Structure 1
Amino acid sequence: MKKVLILLSVLIPFVGNAQEYSLEQYLEKVERENISIKKAQNETQQSAEDVKMARSEYLPQIGATAGYRRDFNNSYMFINEGESGMEGVPNKFPVNFKNTLNGAVTLEQSIYNAPALANQKIAKLANAYMKLSQADQTNQVVKQGTLLFYQALYAKESLTIFLENSALAQNQYQQVCEMFANGLVSEFAMKQSELYYQQTLPDIENARKTVGNLLRELRLLANMTEEEPFEIKGEIALPDASLEATGQERFPGGTLKMEQSIKRMDLAKQEISLSKAAFLPKVTFNLGYSLDAYDDKFRFKDRNGVGYGTINLSIPIFSGGYNRSKVRKSHLAYEKSKMEYMELGNQLEKEYQSLLADKTVASTQINTIRKMVELADKEIQASEEKLRLGLVSNLELRETRISYIQAKLQLLNATLDYQAAIVNIKNLLK
C-alpha cells in the first residue's frame, strides 16, 4: 500500500496558489455576489419605494406656476366718435401693458380617498411579500450552491478513488512484470495486467473534466471571473453510524414558503377592499393664491392677488358594471389563493416525507456499504500477497480491485445522497 500512496501523490495534481474556499466561505461569497440575489434585493427596494409612493397619495400636493409675457404692440379699445358726444376726446385707448407677470400657488389635500387607503395597505403587504421572496430566493440560491459544492467534492473524491484504482492497477502491473522477469508468469499475463492498468485511465480523465465543469458552475453562481483564483476544500462527511430514521415526523408548517402563501392571501383579500373602494366618494380640499402684475417699466405697481379655497366631492354613479365585475373577480382570486395555500401545504408535506425517506435510505446504504468497503480493503491487501505467491490470477485480483473501488464509489454516492437530503430538508424547513 505504500507504493499506492506514493503513486497517488504523483497522480493527484497540485492546486497551486488558487484560493481555497470552504463551504461556509463559498456560501458567504454567493450571498454577496450572486446576480439572482441582487435582483431580489433590487425588487425589494423597489417595493419599498412603492410604499412611499402609495403614502404620498394622502399627503398634501403643493404646486406653483409662474409666467412672464411681453407685448410688443399696444392693444386698443375703440370708441365711435359720434357716440362719445365730446370733441377732442380720443376714439381709442390702450388696454394692455408691455410687461405682465403671473403666478399661482395651489395646495390639494385628500380628505377621504378610499382607493388611496387601500393602495397603501396593498403596497405594504407587497413589500412584506417581496422581503419574504428575497429571503426565499436567497435560500434557493444557497441550496443550489451547497448541492453544487457537494457535487464538486463528490467529483474530487471520485477522482481520488479512480486515481487509487489506477495506482492499484499499476502496482499490480509492476508486480507481474517482476514475476515475469523471474519466470513466474507468462508474457500474456504481463500484457494483460498492463491492459487492465490502461483501462483505468479514461475514468480519471472523465472525472477531471467533471470536476472542472462543476468548478465553472460554482464560479458562475458566485459571479466570479475566470481569472480569480478558485479552489474548494473539504469532504463529504459520513453521518454517524448510529443514525436512526425519523420518517414518521410531520411537516411542521410555518415555513418561509407558507408565509409567502399567507401574504398572497392577504394581498388578494386587500384587492377586494380596493375594488369595493371604487363605489365610495372622494373628498378633496384645495387652497390657492394667484397673483397678476402689470407694468410698462418693470415696476409692477399694478397687481391683482386672489386667494381661494374649495372643497370637491366626487361620487361614482354608474360604471357600466365594470366595478361590480371587478369585485366579483377579486373575490374569486381570494378563494383561489386560499386553495393554493392548502395545496402548497399538502405538496410540502409530501415533499418533506419523501426527503425523510431519501435520508433514511441513504443512511441505511451508508451503514451497509461501509462494512463492504472494510471487507473489500482487507480482501485486496490479501489478494496482492496471494498474487506474489501465485495463488490468484491477474483476473481474480482485477475483480477484487474493481469490487473494492465500486464499494468505495457506492459509499461516496450514498453519502452524497444523504447530504443532499439533509440540505433539501433544511431548505424546506426554513
Structure 2
Amino acid sequence: LTAQAAVNNAKEDLALADSILQIASDRFREGLIDGLSFNQAKINRNNAFDKLEQNKQYLVENELNLKILLGLSTSETLVLKEQIELNMNIPIELVAQNEASIKLYEAQIEIADFERKQALTRFTPKLDLIYYWGGTQYQQDFNLSFTSSDWQSNSYIGLNLSIPIFSGFGNKNQYSSAKISQNIARLNYEEETRKSSMTDSILLNNYLSSKKLAETANENLKLSGENVQLAYSRYSEGLISLENYLSVYDDYLAVESQFFTRLSDYMINKATILSRNY
C-alpha cells in the first residue's frame, strides 16, 4: 500500500514537472530564460521520471513478495482495494502478550512436571490384582485331548504388592534431577515472561513515537505540497525564477521521502501490535 501511494505521488510529481518543462520551453523560445534554466527544467523532469520508475519497480517487487506469501502464482492478478488511512484518532494503548513464545515455555513446565511425577511414582508401593481362569489336562501318554471331560477347571485370584526399599539411590537421583529440571523450566518461563513484557513495552513505545512522527510528517507534506503549488503559480506568472521554484520543489521531495519513511515505520509497528491483539 505504501509503495502504491508512492507511485501515485510520483505520477503527480511527473505531471507537475512536465508542466514546468513546458513553461520553461516556451520561455526559452521567447528568450526570457537562458539555456541553463531550461536545462534545469529538463533535469527536474528526468529526475521525476526516474523516481516514478524506481517506485514502480519497488511496487512490483512488493507485489511479487506478497504473492509468494499468499501462495499465488505470478500470472494471477492481485488487487489491493484498501487505502492508506492513518487513523490517528484510534490510539492503541495495550499490546497483547506474545502467546506463541510464552506457550512454548509453559509446555516445557508441563513436561518437566510430568517427568517429576513419573520419577515420584518409583517411591510409591505398587499393588496389582492377579486373576487367572482356565483348565488343566493330565495325560499319561502326553497326548492332547479336546474332550471336555478330560479337562479340569483351574482358576485363582491374588494380590501382588511391590514395595521399593533400596535401588542404590537411582530413584532418588532421578527424582532430584526431574525436580531440578522443573525448577529450571519455571525459571525460564518467568524470565521469558519478564523479557516479553519488556519487549512489549518497547513495541508500544515505538508505536506511540512512530505515530507522532507520522502525524508531523503528514502535516509537513501537506504544507510542502501547498508551497509547491504556490511556487508553481508564481513561476507561471513570472514572479519567481525557475531556480526559486526548483528550490521549493527539492524541499518538497525531501519532505515526501521522510513522510513515506515515517508512514512505513508507523504501519509496521501498528500491524505488529494488531496481529497480537486480534
User: Alpha-carbon deviations, 1:84-118, whole Å to 9, x = none?
Assistant: xxxxxxxxxxxxxxxxxxxxxxxxxxxxxxxxxxx
User: Alpha-carbon deviations, 1:14-62, whole Å to 9, x = none?
Assistant: xxxxxxxxxxxxxxxxxxxxxxxxxxxxxxxxxxxxxxxxxxxxxxxxx
- Residue aligning to 2:113: 269
Q: What pairs with 1:29-428 in structure 2 (closer than 5 Å)?
A: 153-240=1-88, 257-258=101-102, 261-280=105-124, 281=126, 283=128, 285=130, 287=132, 319-428=167-276
Unaligned runs of 5+ in 1: 1-152, 293-299
Identity %: 17
Which amino acid is 2:82 matched to?
A: G
- Give secondary structure in 2 for the equivalent of 1:238: coil
- Give secondary structure in 2 for the equivalent of 1:283: strand
Question: Do the aligned partners of 1:165 and 1:405 also contact (CA within 8 Å) in 2?
Answer: no
Which amino acid is 1:174 matched to?
A: Q
d(CA) in 1 for partners of 2:45 and 2:132? Answer: 94
d(CA) in 2 for partners of 1:319 and 1:371? Answer: 78
Which amino acid is 2:259 matched to?
A: L
Q: 1:314 to 1:237 in 2, by over 3 A?
A: same
Question: Do the aligned partners of 1:243 and 1:363 also contact (CA within 8 Å) in 2?
Answer: no
- Give secondary structure in 1 for the equivalent of 2:65: helix
Q: 1:243 to 1:429 in 2, by over 3 A?
A: closer
- Residue aligning to 1:133: none
- Residue aligning to 1:26: none
Question: Do the aligned partners of 1:168 and 1:401 also contact (CA within 8 Å) in 2?
Answer: no
d(CA) in 2 for partners of 1:170 and 1:291? Answer: 110
Q: 1:335 to 1:184 in 2, by over 3 A?
A: same
Q: 1:212 to 1:245 in 2, by over 3 A?
A: closer
Further displaced range: 259-268 or 168-177: 259-268
Give how far 1:336 is off: 1.5
- Give secondary structure in 2 for the equivalent of 1:235: coil
User: Alpha-carbon deviations, 1:293-345, whole Å to 9, x = none?
Assistant: xxxxxxx9668777756766666566554432221222112112222222122
Question: Do the aligned partners of 2:108 and 2:185 also contact (CA within 8 Å) in 1?
Answer: yes
Give how far 1:180 is off: 1.6
Further displaced range: 377-386 or 273-282: 273-282
Question: Do the aligned partners of 2:96 and 2:273 also contact (CA within 8 Å) in 1?
Answer: no
Q: 1:201 to 1:324 in 2, by over 3 A?
A: farther
- Give secondary structure in 1 for the equivalent of 2:196: helix
d(CA) in 2 for partners of 1:227 and 1:370? Answer: 36
Question: Do the aligned partners of 1:370 and 1:411 also contact (CA within 8 Å) in 2?
Answer: yes
d(CA) in 1 for partners of 2:16 and 2:96? Answer: 50
d(CA) in 2 for partners of 1:245 and 1:253? Answer: 14
- Give secondary structure in 1 for the equivalent of 2:128: strand
d(CA) in 2 for partners of 1:206 and 1:290? Answer: 92
Question: Do the aligned partners of 2:234 and 2:240 also contact (CA within 8 Å) in 1?
Answer: yes
d(CA) in 2 for partners of 1:220 and 1:322? Answer: 54
- Give secondary structure in 1 for the equivalent of 2:208: helix
Give how far 1:230 is off: 2.4
Please state which structure has a larger fraction of its residues in helix: 2
Which amino acid is 1:339 matched to?
A: L
Give how far 1:208 is off: 2.4
d(CA) in 1 for partners of 2:11 and 2:135? Answer: 89
Give how far 1:380 is off: 0.9
User: Alpha-carbon deviations, 1:280-300, whole Å to 9, x = none?
Assistant: 4363646576899xxxxxxx9
Question: Do the aligned partners of 1:255 and 1:429 also contact (CA within 8 Å) in 2?
Answer: no
If the length of structure 1 is used for normalisation, what is the TM-score?
A: 0.53
Question: Do the aligned partners of 1:237 and 1:415 also contact (CA within 8 Å) in 2?
Answer: no
Further displaced range: 358-367 or 311-320: 311-320
Q: 1:282 to 1:179 in 2, by over 3 A?
A: farther
If the length of structure 2 is used for normalisation, what is the TM-score?
A: 0.78
Give how far 1:272 is off: 0.8
Q: 1:180 to 1:313 in 2, by over 3 A?
A: same
Question: Do the aligned partners of 2:98 and 2:276 also contact (CA within 8 Å) in 1?
Answer: no
- Residue aligning to 1:48: none
Give how far 1:274 is off: 1.2
Give how far 1:347 is off: 1.5
- Residue aligning to 1:115: none
Give how far 1:176 is off: 1.0
- Give secondary structure in 2 for the equivalent of 1:200: helix
